[in-house]
Each structure stands twice: as structure tokens, then as C-alpha cells.
Amino acid sequence: MIFKKIYITIAALLMLSVANADEIKGRGASFPGPLYKAWTSEYFKTTTNKVNYTPTGSGDGIKSIKKRMVDFAGSDKPLKPKALKKNGLHMFPAIIGSIVLAYNLDGVKDGQLKLSRKAIIGIFSGNITHWDDNEIIVQNPDLNLPHEPIILAVRADKSGTTFNFTYFLNKLDKNIKVSKKPTWKSSRVVAGKSNSGVSANIQQIKNSIGYIEYSFKDKLGLSAAQIENREGYYINPTLNSFQDAAKHAKWIADNDFYAVIGDPEGVTSYPIVAATFILLPEEKNEINKKVIKFIDWAYENGDKVATDLGYVPLPTSTKNQIRQYWEDKKINW
Amino acid sequence: MGARLFKNFSFFSATLSFFILIGVFSVLFSYAQEALHEFGFDFLYNEVWEADEDDEGGIFGGYVPIIGTLLSTLIAMLIATPLAMGIAIFLTEIATEKMIQPVSVAIELLAAIPSIIYGMWGLFYFAPIVQLTVGGNGVGLLTAGIVLAIMIIPFMAAITRDAMNTTPPVLKESAYSMGATKFEVIKDIVMPYAKGGIIGSIILALGRALGETMAVAFLIGSVMSIPSKITDPTTSIPVLLANNFAEAQDLEMSSMYYLALILFIVSFAIISLAKFYFFRKSII
């Protein structure tokens, strides 16, 4: 009896793995991980087509697609047209997300702390070392900021989130290099692995501040700062301010949509936004069609899920541009 | 037939471990070639670990993780050794029959806790306490060292206890009959007799502390810098490997194999020392 049960289980498992041979496999950026997970399960429910995405990190995604280990890859860092050509890849954006500066300060609630561009540069370059530094106090006269050292919570692993954050810092101060894993100059740095590791460090360490993806701030109820945008306004990280920022992104199909959209124009734009990209191998036309079909479905039906999770859907005009791009590359079905 | 099969099978099992050892070593060695070639022994003194923007090269040095590993292990050993000795002496010489069982079980259970749990406990409970009392960032060398110490105490205590138990009662009784106090018996009879086992236990625990990954990854801060204070964050070899493995390519990957090779050789040397020198002398 029991053997029969085991036998049936094994047979079922084998059948499952046979059925799975047809699924689409992707891996890469962890930044859009929660969203892709929601999209794929919804897609499976409506079309019974399986897409499997493993959020391992942008660098891993790029590595895997270069070696053709997966059908598509996610990356927060866009590849330059030259690199795409060299490796035979197509690229287009999938969704827009945002990065917040979350902090752990006694008595300072969510959205109360205002950080000027000068203050952000000072904090992350190690020139501002204490919370009661003049640069911070000037913008926050009502807050009771302690004379305690600022502890930076950063990423221990290479990360697309770090790339997009340092891209923003670089816009403010050219001395800061854009990098997936920079060497931070501040003397008080604590690093954690992935967005969840950094979030845990911020939660546990008093007087810390760090950059994380918005959905983690939302999920864990962390406090995040208002940030001075390009036009000099202090903007709270909200879906509306992300959407306003997304409107200013400029995409061009000619260079495979290569664009880093951080620090956009507009008085109501939240400044630290980032797009995440999909990479496809150009020679695998049949599989690419299946991937495209999934992405197109997501563009069509996935905006609500995305907004619920704290992401910003691409504007319709951009989506149409991308559909045109697929047609030009002859991967449309 | 059956007997021969059994003999072959056990021969196969016995040689397998040997081949795995050699296999692991040769894989580490061959994958590390690129970095060995590029950096040579300067790798050991270089403090920088930075990849190029396009991830194809960069400068990688093992100085920080090597120092971090040594320092965190040193702190752990300094805390764990006296405590483990205390536990072992208590269990063999002082505790009454009734107490031996529960204390032993508690210590053994401590050894059974998976290291990730120590890491989580350390980060969420212990790090804020350290920040409050000693200062610093909460996570760093000291926090990692203390939690590491807690993790290796059971090992050290158990082996030391076994070594001390091998002291022939007749030796101890003779000492007592000469008028020696309990402390004198422990100091002059038990400790010298079990010396080999005690040192062996310390070295085995050292080997385990060197390679501990998960708990330390939570607690050491993972920052590529030489600590100037005991509370400063730094990184260690296993932590650096765990954090960067998924994203590394080419030269960086090879440099990580280089680090792994260093750790492999050091741990191997330490365990061999314990096994072939100290244990041979005493228990076997």
C-alpha cells in the first residue's frame, strides 16, 4: 500500500518535470523579483503557460544570458549598445521602480526627515558624519536630531540597486563613481546582502540610514526621507511622485532603450527612480516569441499588480515603442 | 559473493573521501590559476577589492578578509577557551551525578542549533545590546566574535571533557590521599594528563570558527576595511565568498577561488596538526 503511494508520487513528480520542460526560464535582477513573481503566477492562471523567474541579481542575469543558460534575463543595469551587439542581445525596459533612503532615528517618523542634495552627498561621501550636522539641521529645524554618528547601511553584494543609487549620487557629485559595488568612503559602514539584508540592518541599528527598494520600505514599515529633487523641491517617496518622475524618462529604440532615468526633471518628480530591463538572446527566435508574449501580456494586464507592489508601469507610449522594437527585430509573433 | 561485494563497497567508501579531498583541492587550485597568475603572493597584502565597471577585471586583494577571519576567530577563541575549560572541569570533577546529565544535554543541544539561527539571534537580539553597551555599529568584529564563541564552546567542551575523563582515577586518588585540594588535582593531575586532548579540542574548534559562514555573514558587517577598533565592521573569507559569488565573473571569480584555496589550506593544516600531533599523543 505504502509502496504504491510512493510509486504514484514519484510518477507524478516525473510527469511534472516533463511538463516543465516547456516552461520559459529567466533569472537576474532581484529588484523586480516580487513583481515578476506576481506576473508569472497570474500569467500561468490565465494562459497556463509557465514562466519561471529566479531573482539572483543583475550581474548573475547578465552572466547567464551571455552564456545562454536562460531564455531571458533581468537587469537593473542597462547594457551599453556596444555590449549588446558583442553578445548578440536585445534589450528593453520592463518596469520602473524607485529607491528610498530609509533611516532608523528615535523620534523621527516616516517622511519627517528632509534631505537636501548637499546633505545626501555629504552623508554618502563620508563628509557629514553626525546627524546634527548643519547641512541636515538647516532643512529640519523642527526635528530633534541627536549628536550621534551616522551609520551607512549599504549592499555587501554587487547590485543593480547600488548601480542606480550611485548613478543618482554621481549626478550630484562627479567625484562619486557609478558602480555596482563602490568602496564607500565613510568610516561607519555596515553592509548586508540583498535588499532584505540592508533592510534588516536598518531595522536593527540605531542612527543608520541606507538605500533600499521602495517595496521593502513599504513591506517592513521603515521610515524614509523626503529628498530634494532637481528643481529644489522636497519630495516624499509615493506612487504619485514616482509616476511623475517616470513621465520624464526618455527612451529611444535605436539604442535598445539604453537610458538611466535617475534624477529626472519636473517639480513633483521623486528623484531616485530606476528602470529594470529584460535581455533576450537574438538568435533564439522561437523562445523569444514566447517571452515576448508574456511581456506583452504583462504590459497589457499587469499594471495594477505592479502599482499594488509599489512599482510604476511604463507609460503607454513607451510600451508601444517597445512593441515596435520587437517588430523591427522580427521577434513579434 | 555477498562478502566480496561488501568488501568492495567498503573499500570504495573508504577511498571515496580521499578522492573527494584531492578533487576539491585540484578544482580550487585550477580555478584560482588566473588570480594566482595575475596577483601572485601580493594578493595576501592587498587591501583593495574592486571590480571594473564592466565586470571584466579589477583589482582584488585578500588582506582584509584574511585579517578579518583571523581577528574574529581570535576573539572567539579568547572567549570560548576559558568557558569551555570551565564547563569540562565542572562536568568531570565538580558536578554531582544528578547534574552531569542535564548540563551535558544542554551543551550538546547548543551544538545542534543551525548556524543561521545563531546569526539571526545575533543580529536581532544581540547586536542592539552590543551597540548600547560597547558602542559602535552593533554589527562588527566583537559581535561576530562573541556569537562565534558561543557556537564553538560545545565542541571544545565536549572533546575536553572526554579527554579529562580518561585521567585514571588512581592518579587522582593518589593526589587526594597526599592532601592535594580539588584545585591542585585539576591543575596538576587532570590538566597535564589531558593536555593533548585539550589542545586538540582548541585547534578543532579553531578550524570550525575559521570556516563559519552564515552566522558571521549576519554579524560582521561585510565591509571591506581593516578594523581600527574591536567594534568596527570588517569581513571574513567565507562571508566575502558567500556575498559575492553569485555576481562575480572572470578574474573576480578566480580571486575568490584563490581565497577559498587559502582557507582550505589553512583549515587543512590546522585539522592535520590537531589530528596527527596532539590526538596521537593522548587519547586516540
User: Could you give the ipTM of this predicted complex?
Assistant: 0.75
Q: Are residues A9 and A48 in the same domain?
A: yes
- Flag whether A220 is in a domain: yes
Measured between beta carbons, the chain B residues lying within 8 angstroms of A205 are: 127-128, 131, 137-139
Strand extents, DSSP E, B57-115: 58-60
Q: Are residues A110 and A235 in the same domain?
A: yes
**How many structural domains are present in chain B?**
1
Q: Specify the 3-state DSSP secondary structure of B6.
A: helix
- Flag whether B259 is in a domain: no
- Which of A89, A85, A59 has the alpha carbon at shortest distance from A72? A89
Q: What is the pTM of this model?
A: 0.82
Q: Once rounded to an integer, what is the mean pLDDT over residues B48-73? A: 85
Contact of B53 with chain A, judged by CB distance below 8 Å, is answered with yes
Cβ neighbours, 10 Å, residue B55? 20
Calculate what percentage of chain B has a pLDDT beyond 70: 96
In the prediction, which pLDDT does A160 show?
Answer: 85
- CB contact (8 A) between residue A204 and residue B127: yes
- Flag whether B26 is in a domain: no
Could you read off the pLDDT of B246-280 as tens digits, one per residue?
777 788 889 999 999 999 999 888 888 887 877 66
User: Which residue type is seen at B96?
Assistant: T
Q: Once rounded to an integer, what is the mean pLDDT over residues B198-226? A: 89
Distance (Å) from the C-alpha of residue A162 to the closest C-alpha of chain B? Answer: 12
In the prediction, which pLDDT does B50 show?
Answer: 83
- Flag whether A264 is in a domain: no
In the prediction, which pLDDT does B211 show?
Answer: 87
Measured between beta carbons, the chain B residues lying within 8 angstroms of A190 are: 137-140, 221-223, 233
In the prediction, which pLDDT does B148 show?
Answer: 94
Tell me B44's DSSP state: G
- Flag whether B32 is in a domain: no
Q: Are residues A93 and A122 in the same domain?
A: no
How many helices (H) and strands (E) chain A has is answered by: 13, 12
Ramachandran bin of A111, using left for φ above 0, alpha for ψ from -120 to 50, beta for the remaining angles:
left
Calculate what percentage of chain B has a pLDDT beyond 90: 51
Cβ neighbours, 10 Å, residue A7? 10
Residue B53 pLDDT > 90, yes or no?
Answer: no
Quote the mean pLDDT of chain B: 89
Measured between beta carbons, the chain B residues lying within 8 angstroms of A204 are: 123-124, 127-128, 138-139
Residue B54 confidence class, pLDDT cut points 50, 70, 90: low
Residue B149 pLDDT > 90, yes or no?
Answer: yes
DSSP element (H, E) containing A313: none
CA distance B184 to B182: 5
Sign of CA dihedral B115, B117, B119, B125: negative
Residue B123 pLDDT > 70, yes or no?
Answer: yes
**How many structural domains are present in chain A?**
2
Q: Find the domain containing B163 and state its range.
A: 66-239+265-278
Strand extents, DSSP E, B133-231: none
- Flag whether A266 is in a domain: no
In the prediction, which pLDDT does A196 show?
Answer: 87
Q: Which residues of chain A have pLDDT under 50?
A: none
A137's grid cell: 539641521
Q: Are residues A38 and A117 in the same domain?
A: no
Q: Are residues A160 and A230 in the same domain?
A: yes
Q: Find the domain containing A189 and state its range.
A: 99-246
Nearest to B247 among A59, A151, A204 (CB): A59
Under 8 Å between Cβ of A135 and A243 = no
- Which of A20, A178, A196, A44 has the alpha carbon at shortest distance from B54? A178
HSE toward the beta carbon, residue A92, CA cutoff 13 A: 27
Q: Are residues A197 and A291 in the same domain?
A: no
Q: Are residues A283 and A303 in the same domain?
A: yes
Residue B283 pLDDT > 70, yes or no?
Answer: no
- CB contact (8 A) between residue A180 and residue B243: no
Distance (Å) from the C-alpha of residue A16 to the closest C-alpha of chain B? Answer: 28
Tell me B132's DSSP state: H
In the prediction, which pLDDT does B284 show?
Answer: 42
The CATH number that applies at residue B168 is 1.10.3720.10
- Flag whether B152 is in a domain: yes
